Amino acid sequence: MISGILNVNKPAGPSSFAVVRAVRRLPGIVKAGHGGTLDPAADGVLPILVNAATRLADFVHEWPKIYLATVTFGVTSDTGDREGSLTPSGDASLVSRDRIEALLPSFMGQIAQVPPIYSALKQGGEALYRKARRGEAIEQRPRLVMIHAIRLIDYDPATATGHVEVSSGQGMYVRSLASDLGAALGCGAYLSGLTRTALGPLTLADAVPAATLAGAGEEWTRWLLPMDLPLQAWPTVSLDAAAAAAVRRGQAVVAPGVASGRCRVLDPDGHLLAWGEVDADRRLQPRAVFPG
């Protein structure tokens, strides 16, 4: 069973799950899942993990992300983006490029952010957006998120719209960032457009359009990237035949010369066998073993 990662260019409109469902219909694909949701209104890089690679989704989520956000000032949205109800909220004529650029450093580093109520985050075992649609009260809890870099690309005072490039870690909502930026400027704002231009080593320039992939038939594998892409920066443990057989049975083996922590595990032929963790006693504990 062939496994790996697809770098898909999701268009605005369909949900991330709709793109995954289309990929699942391709020949030879038994399982597929995405490595980081894009809202329906957003476009850009959507990693899709195929077959055994679905077991590496957590590590794809750890990759840094780069977005190009279009932010419109003087208007708010109940969803934080253009999909919601828009309400005039302040005097955008007071906004300028200089004022935006002066504020952006305050959003750098680890910051507290309240996720949008219309999001897939769960509270009490249910997605927040389901509660919001029923009109239920939602406790909005701030979370710590990481913003590695943020810069203003341009600002058009005629439309009160700016383009902001932001590099972030896991769990950061660009909708919340746009809303917080508007609140800090005293006029409100919403996310009027969003493109994810990179996720880890995956870039928009190299992504295959979702429609092209869905119509590729047997040729879809031409865009398949190695399954171990999320693990390639990890320490590597290469095993002989006996140790590899033990790992396939889920047994711990000695991993001399490797520091404690996560590692990728290769079989005698150099193929990905598993990922695991080396403990303080230099014992490799397999956490996920992949079919050969």
Just list the catalytic residues.
Answer: 39
Q: How many CB atoms lie within 10 A of CB 126?
A: 11
For β-strands 4-10 and 208-209, DSSP reports them as parallel
Q: What does DSSP assign to residue 99?
A: H
- Longest pairwise C-alpha distance within the chain: 71
Report yes or no: 177 and 166 within 8 Å, Cβ to Cβ: yes
Cβ neighbours of residue 254 closer than 8 Å, sequence gap 6 or more: 243, 282, 283, 284
Report yes or no: 123 and 137 within 8 Å, Cβ to Cβ: no
Number of residues written out for the chain: 292
Q: How many CB atoms lie within 10 A of CB 263?
A: 21
Nearest-CA neighbor of 18 among 45, 38, 44?
38
Q: In whole angstroms, give the CA distance from residue 14 to residue 135.
A: 25
The DSSP result for 209-252, as a single string, is EHHHHHT-GGGGGGGEEPTTGGGTTS-EEE--HHHHHHHHTT--
